A and B are shown apart, each in its own frame.
Chain A
């Protein structure tokens, strides 16, 4: 299942990465190499095997819905690249 540069461009859009032409070429080669290696797992028959997403015997951990103090907007906005009053500022998302 080799992948081509068109597919790499598609994945880069999904992953929100603007790649240079040089990076696209290098990644096409790298990904094909790695994918060829990981194909190895298809040697195994796993039709009767359950998937493991994590190893702990816990599911749906819940807690009481209690209001606790929060740090407030100035603390939470302190690392924002751009802000206005109590908001994160971003380019327009609708025309």
Chain B
């Protein structure tokens, strides 16, 4: 048995019974990384020595009688946008090539306190701006299901690492779909929690009113176990919600009888790939056969979501990325005439093409004479999009949609046309604008044997209902048990 191929909850059972050790698990995962990483390129920075040290420490503690908590001894991969004390954090950018944070973010600290094992930092679109992990300064990541296709993005390294069994669990971030779309492309589970449910302290900011941290895992149970640790208020993030955190494993119930599932009609029209449409319709039938009822819902402002998102997200990004001034940390150009020249050259040389494009768009929409027409207008449309969800959830318990309009596309296919790239997030973006939680989980395969994901959206702070529907679907299907060809390769 390849330990690297198991889930966290399976390994936890074995650890508890003394059937394996964290050292054995970590060794198996590192062996897997060594066998497949040259094909996938999921990692930016690997920390195998640190991982083995942590694993040995965990094993000693277990031998000494310490409790084996659900994620104790589990190796995990961290999206390179989360600050890790003493481990380089690049955000996929040249500008942070040598940045070593002096602190660890809250989400990671909480996981570390449980005794998780850090494998390293995984690849992403530069500053989380992209849908394909092709904009990273550290090279592209490939989809373990088909190496000629993208793993999705921006958390493409996380999704690919999970799908290739190069880690047991991973952590990603989602501003417009960056957890869910790569989860869909790589056939794994990814949850974007409610805005404010998980502390953002230590997450390098892209668009502060939209950014969320969440789990990326092999199945729904592992996502619930991670959420039990990640969720909660943090005095270091004033936008984190001061609300009680439920035990999400209580929602892992194989029962959807009597639940109402809303199907937004705006998501099942033109442009949807026939394979995706077929998979979603079958998923709906599966849930109906298990006792759920479906109801057609309208989210009338759906068609304005991508435009609204690119105005709000780029405006916030242009402000957030002002901090890269070549003074406190980050890349500084070699030669310059004066301070202004130092700023302008350092930023021009440090940022990649897509980041510059978004800084330019965001600066433009915030500049005098354009602010009201673009930014303020977009914030008002955001209200309408949020109201669409409020109205929908009066009629149903969850909404079910495709996660992405197509399965993973070919590497290079959309790099020449930013607008086409932006439209690959068409089904995920409204969720961030509305601040609601949503999960992507595997629900089928395309003719080309690429995974297809479905998205389940819930009410604000009602991740539990999402877990219940997702768990029921998973227990009655076997898509989550299928392994990518790359994962199968190494035995």
Which residues of chain A have a CB within 8 Å of any CB of chain B? Answer: 1, 3, 7-8, 10-19, 23, 27, 30-31, 33-35, 37-44, 46, 49-56, 58, 61, 63, 71, 75-76, 78-82, 88, 90-93
Contacts and interface: CB of A to CB of B under 8 A. Distances in A.
Given A34-B310, A44-B301, 14 more contacts: A16-B325, A17-B356, A30-B357, A33-B419, A43-B304, A51-B380, A56-B195, A71-B102, A71-B103, A79-B100, A79-B330, A88-B327, A90-B327, A91-B342
A17 B360 contact: yes
Contacts of B298: none
Interface string B433-463: 0110000000000000000000000001000
B429 to A, nearest CB: 13
A39 B306 CA distance: 11
Given A55-B434, A55-B460, A90 B342 contact: yes
B318 interface: yes
Contact of B360 (A8, A39, A82): A8
Contacts of A12: 360
A11 B336 contact: no
Interface stretch (B120-128, B283-291, B382-390): B382-390
Contact of B356 (A23, A42, A79, A82): A23
A58 B322 CA distance: 26
B16 to A, nearest CB: 38
Interface in B336-367: 336, 338-345, 347-348, 351, 356-357, 359-364, 367
A38 B308 CA distance: 7
Contacts of A38: 307, 310-311, 374, 378
A18 B345 CA distance: 5
A42 B364 CA distance: 17
A49 B336 CA distance: 48
Interface residues of B, number: 69
Contacts of B102: 71, 75-76, 78-79
B409 interface: no
B235 interface: yes
A50 B361 contact: no
B418 A3 contact: no
Query: Which secondary structure dominates where chain B touches chain A?
Result: helix
Query: Which secondary structure dominates where chain A touches chain B?
Result: loop
B331 interface: yes
Contacts of B318: 15
* In the A-B complex, the 4 residue pairs with the closest CB atoms: A55-B435, A79-B329, A81-B332, A51-B379
Contacts of B382: 51-52
Contacts of B17: none
A29 to B, nearest CB: 10
B307 A79 contact: no
B241 interface: yes
Contacts of A44: 301, 304, 381, 384
Contact of A31 (B338, B361, B379, B381): B361
B348 A18 contact: yes
Contacts of A42: 373, 377
